[in-house]
Structure 1
């Protein structure tokens, strides 16, 4: 039996939303509130990380935080309740039903419980029975009860088990009662563990029933699973797939495992890795290179920094490379396209969403400037500065990283001359901008020290043939060599 409408109206549950485009899960990075804190509609209560970015989640209710269903560092499926709020705290104490816990009808002789301390409840286990005395309800017609074994069989059937196993939950021990072992209560039935811990155990091939829990109320933790995985790996037969664990070092050898760190691949890094693999093995890449004298462009950068129209804006060589790329794309619009595998069509786009690859603590992301081809130089500088600042703060929204058409990656900031960039999935081209260095260069018939850089252009050979790709790269270089072409060609 579900909670009454009045009760459900009072305790409002907030579920993990789909903050991206069809994402299925997100990791809770940080809680900004705790149970008992007052919250208001629109207040940010936590920060989560999806496969695309870190996002702050606002609560849509006014009230007092009743319960946080997951801790920091836990990955939660979209649609799962993560926090509940008491929207009428002045109505007196009451216990809100835990998310996902089945509500069973009480027997006729059951007594109504007084409010007591809350006990953590895991999905699928129900609420633990209270040891507090309850006042008797009005007499009701007697209802035939089933023997304990029949109830257990029914519960097992509902849970889809092959054999009837009693569902036992840890019970708080009264002060006057003899000491009890919550671990034994937990392991007598289905082991208690949160869904992410269950998945970890499944991936490592560990049976939860064999683990001695160390968490509160007999809950199995990640550390318990890893501890159980180590001896399992050492005892596995040769050639059998086993979890990765540190094997004892042979006498006279160095134990390298003790000096290694393992970090789970998740969030932005996981999505980036999957996207790059998909791109590398789907789109046939071609990469071309050109070295160009950018001395005039570097002089123009210094002049623009003093221009009143550019005051307060981020002016750097990347800005002029972006503008040169956009001018070249306008001269060769066939480059700005996408391959539609499902319909076997080439989609030509009359807009340019210019992606800028940005390195962040959580991994590489590629937010893009929408309709970059329509921007003036001051507008492009403002958008570029905002994009980079937001990315470094980890606040880039999923919408800012969708819909890109072409990308620039600035490897020169790391002192790298050039590289062979991999296409951002769904895009047609990516331009790598290398380091600008003083080099000997033949200028007006004489060898002089000039500021030189190397550009690399990777493109999808299904969309762009060698001629078109070469013309695009040559035009970018021509603009950077003689930036006045920004006016004559733009």
Structure 2
């Protein structure tokens, strides 16, 4: 007998609460193996292929490509123990039922926040159906009397829902597509008084505008407990708002949803501008000697040293002298947190928007190792292969806007960091060199910093040291 198990969108880490379905990798009726990727999703951090922890036949999928699902919402249901799609029509065990006899093995903790090796959820209370038919679950997820098939739970369920969800089946969404012969069970609303455990439960429901008839109790004989009402309140607060009415669009107007990576960028920039009192200072520097030093290093053979890697190496040396800028402000504790290691972020433009990959422990890398790491992360960014870990944990960021052909900028700090160095284009300009006018390779450098972590003297000292290293690379030899 096949068991229909539900696989929910797992916690993908880094505090992510939703993901957009980019591409389904399986269809209803497909046979899947343990840890086989079943869907590709895009979070606010990266593109991720989500593996299924069960082996069996896909009986339903939830959500269309392009739609967003919250963490904990069902992705698909799998008939475990079935070797072909027809086997999915056999009687199924409700989600959360005890399956110790012939229990299907899962893959364990595949992604952050979910694992199939945990003990099964407690058994739902089952009572006989009227007329002595097959037993049914009080939550409406048991096997139907006519078809004998288990109805999959819907996208309205949540990751932290108790085994007997207080949301009625009549309010749950139906799957995008399902195996014929397995319609979701809909339990009609009942008349008469609602059984609750105490008047406190009724008052709590009334204060939050909840209709107790819309809840299914997890207590004995469907008794509504305080935990059921509190769960329903949390679910209502975290449920995505209803889609607004289609806006009136002017002729030639295009609306682009702020979601996924683009939405995360917008949120982070807005938060940075709201919370950080930022100041920008800048200086022009003669980069001729730095360009000559790079040419000499690359002429010696081996990996070609990138200009960004040289600026990164200069910044790690400058942060060693001015650690105030390698920090963040803990607003809740009203403390400045200084770091003893430099996790160097760098802005990278991709087809899906601006991302900031992070080179961990950049202070321990030389120019060649830093070049290799920057190249690896840049390639992963362009191919959409960055993981959330690659995009978080930065302590200082480089922004090379010179690649766009511009001289200067006043960038927004990459929250929650305290500073960002901007690098303009390196261009031939007239410059006074050794008392004479000459054509030199000049770059504009800008430092945007959080004025809470330091004053102008510290920020100016940092930027002046960076400029000195650009003009005279031999200054770096003191730190090598």
TM-score of the aligned structures, taking structure 2 as reference length: 0.71
Among 295, 302, 314, the residue aligned to 1:302: 295
2:94/2:150 contact within 8 Å kept = no
1:292/1:477 contact within 8 Å kept = yes
Q: Which structure 2 segments of 5+ residues have no match?
A: 97-123, 135-144, 157-168, 182-186, 197-201, 215-235
Q: Distance in 2 between matches of 1:427 and 1:292?
A: 25
2:4/2:94 contact within 8 Å kept = no
The answer for the alignment partner of 2:232 in structure 1 is none
Q: 1:157-212 CA deviation, whole Å, 9 max, x = no partner?
A: 999876989xxxxxxxxxxxxxxxxxxxxxxxxxxxxx9xx956x453xxxxxxxx
The answer for the alignment partner of 1:27 in structure 2 is 20
Deviation at 1:299, TM superposition (A): 2.3
Q: Distance in 2 between matches of 1:115 and 1:303?
A: 77
The answer for the alignment partner of 1:113 in structure 2 is 146
Q: Distance in 2 between matches of 1:418 and 1:30?
A: 40
Q: Distance in 2 between matches of 1:131 and 1:368?
A: 48
Q: 1:150 to 1:326 in 2, by over 3 A?
A: closer
Q: 1:129-151 CA deviation, whole Å, 9 max, x = no partner?
A: x999xxxxxxxxxxxxxxx9983
Q: 1:39 to 1:375 in 2, by over 3 A?
A: same
The answer for the alignment partner of 1:94 in structure 2 is 89
The answer for the alignment partner of 1:292 in structure 2 is 285
The answer for the alignment partner of 1:207 in structure 2 is none
SS for the counterpart of 1:338 is strand
The answer for the alignment partner of 2:190 in structure 1 is 151
1:337/1:347 contact within 8 Å kept = yes
1:93/1:115 contact within 8 Å kept = no
Among 245, 248, 267, the residue aligned to 2:248: 245
SS for the counterpart of 1:350 is coil
Q: 2:421 aligned with 1:428, yes or no?
A: no
The answer for the alignment partner of 1:481 in structure 2 is 471
Q: 1:361 to 1:387 in 2, by over 3 A?
A: same
SS for the counterpart of 2:83 is helix
Deviation at 1:14, TM superposition (A): 1.8
Q: 2:42 aligned with 1:64, yes or no?
A: no
Q: 1:152 to 1:262 in 2, by over 3 A?
A: farther
The answer for the alignment partner of 1:13 in structure 2 is 6
Deviation at 1:376, TM superposition (A): 1.9
Q: Distance in 2 between matches of 1:461 and 1:415?
A: 29
The answer for the alignment partner of 1:409 in structure 2 is 399
1:320/1:480 contact within 8 Å kept = no
Alignment: residue pair count: 384
Deviation at 1:374, TM superposition (A): 0.8
Q: 1:461-489 CA deviation, whole Å, 9 max, x = no partner?
A: 11121011001001111111122222233
2:418/2:449 contact within 8 Å kept = yes
The answer for the alignment partner of 2:360 in structure 1 is 370
Q: 1:15-47 CA deviation, whole Å, 9 max, x = no partner?
A: 111213222211111111112223222322222
Q: 1:432-460 CA deviation, whole Å, 9 max, x = no partner?
A: 11111111112223222211110100011
SS for the counterpart of 2:89 is coil
Q: 1:281 to 1:87 in 2, by over 3 A?
A: same
The answer for the alignment partner of 2:113 in structure 1 is none
Q: Distance in 1 between matches of 2:68 and 2:146?
A: 34
User: Which of these two proteins has the greater Rg computed from alpha carbons?
Assistant: 1
Q: Distance in 2 between matches of 1:369 and 1:23?
A: 22
Q: Distance in 2 between matches of 1:380 and 1:400?
A: 15
SS for the counterpart of 2:20 is strand
Among 369, 373, 396, the residue aligned to 1:383: 373
2:403/2:425 contact within 8 Å kept = yes
SS for the counterpart of 2:294 is helix
SS for the counterpart of 2:190 is helix
TM-score of the aligned structures, taking structure 1 as reference length: 0.70
Superposed counterparts of 1:447-458, under 5 Å: 447-458=437-448
1:325/1:476 contact within 8 Å kept = yes
Q: Distance in 1 between matches of 2:426 and 2:128?
A: 74
Q: 1:50-71 CA deviation, whole Å, 9 max, x = no partner?
A: 2222222122233332221222
Q: 1:49 to 1:90 in 2, by over 3 A?
A: closer
Q: Distance in 2 between matches of 1:150 and 1:52?
A: 42
Stretch of structure 1 that moved more, 340-349 or 378-387:
340-349
Superposed counterparts of 1:182-197, under 5 Å: none
Q: 1:77 to 1:98 in 2, by over 3 A?
A: farther
Q: 1:257-279 CA deviation, whole Å, 9 max, x = no partner?
A: 12011111112222221221221
Stretch of structure 1 that moved more, 87-96 or 463-472:
87-96
